[in-house]
Amino acid sequence: MAVTNNILAEVRALAPYTLKATVAPIKLNQNESPWDVSDDFKAEILERVRAHAWNRYPDFHPADVLQGLGELHGLTGENVLIGNGSNELIQAIFSATVAKDTKVAIPVPTFSLYKMMIAANQGECIEVPLKPDFTYDLDAWRALADQNEAHLLLCSPNNPTGSVVARDFVQELAGRTSKLVIVDEAYVHFGQEDLSDLVERCPNVIVLRTFSKASGLASVRFGYALASAALVPELHKVKLPYNVGIFGLEVARAAIENPSVLDASAAPLVQERTRLENSLKQLPFDRVLQGMANFVVVSTPRAQELFDALFAQGILIRNIGGYPMLENHLRISLGTPEENDTLIDALQRFFAS
């Protein structure tokens, strides 16, 4: 008998979440901030970390961090759960709520990790396709909420389409079901809705946040969940102990003291998004999606050819043609103005040839 038969069949059936470690001078493929944090900020964090005893575990319950993050959203520390990136918190939520045949609804296409984690917990994934224009199918989600059989997971703005859901709609869904309504707001700083306050009004709503997108702190791997004071202790039971080290905790403390760090790249990237979208519309793409995140999605039957041509010129974007509904689509993370200018020039030359 093969030793891998000891692994759950649902896990063996999964394709691993991977991304080829491809290096290019202009990296526009992972939706990171194109700007690093300042040297002064780095120096401050290093001094804070240096002051810790490294032979001791980090704070098990860093009350100041929990309270500070809660207060950023008009909440308390009792509403906050911290993690090694928001992905770990998604895993913790599923560990606490998803068992064999538990139903969880997700949009399609969306972040592939959701479906993988549901399957790993032996849950049943209900896929709710976006509309042809890649907006959310509100009636389909209302129908699922009314059935009251599945947890609802919404990504807003959605990766990889940039689609958003409105605050009133999420509140409506939460009122229609007793199941969880989980909203991944990794890209919230680039959109128009902030749903964090709904966790007080709607005890079945959980909102996820990360430092990885607008903060220029992707390497820190820090995220947090906002939920009702009744839910947080239950989720805490399945969260790994000491999951955030002294480095992540000190970054969080510094960000709480200076909240502008959390959305430092948001405004300039939104401006770049508009500029890039306008330029892309002048080129013969079949579609340029009007998203609300820090990326732009385009489609062309020459998608792979274009990807290869850009990479040959040192520009790395993301071919998302393997996602449902996204054949021949490419996702372009927003870069610096200079990087975006180089990209636009390269695209113009490609189509001119």
Distance, CA of 316 to CA of 307 (rounded, Å): 8
How far, CA to CA in Å, does 209 sit from each of 12, 80, 349? 30, 11, 39
Residue identified by tokens 């896990």 is 11
Task: Mention every residue, 6+ apart, whose C-beta is less than 8 A from residue 235.
Answer: 81, 89, 92, 93, 96, 225, 227
> 208 in helix, strand or coil?
strand
At 193-250, the pLDDT tens digits run: 899 999 999 999 999 999 999 999 999 999 999 999 999 999 999 999 999 999 999 9
Distance, CA of 25 to CA of 282 (rounded, Å): 25
Question: Please, are residues 293 and 192 in contact by the beta-carbon 8 Å criterion?
Answer: no
At 1-36, the pLDDT tens digits run: 688 888 888 888 888 877 776 789 999 999 999 999
Residue identified by tokens 């039971």 is 237
Structural domains for the chain: 3-36+264-352 (3.90.1150.10), 39-261 (3.40.640.10)
353 residues of the chain, pLDDT tens digit each: 688 888 888 888 888 877 776 789 999 999 999 999 999 999 999 999 999 999 999 998 999 999 999 999 999 999 999 999 999 999 999 999 999 999 999 999 999 999 999 999 999 999 999 999 999 999 999 999 999 999 999 999 999 999 999 999 999 999 999 999 999 999 999 998 899 999 999 999 999 999 999 999 999 999 999 999 999 999 999 999 999 999 999 999 999 999 999 999 999 999 999 999 999 999 999 999 989 999 999 999 999 999 999 999 999 999 999 999 999 999 999 999 999 999 999 999 999 98
Question: Please, are residues 35 and 264 in contact by the beta-carbon 8 Å criterion?
Answer: yes
Which spans in 218-336 are helix H? 231-236, 246-257, 266-280, 303-312
The pLDDT value recorded for residue 10 is 85
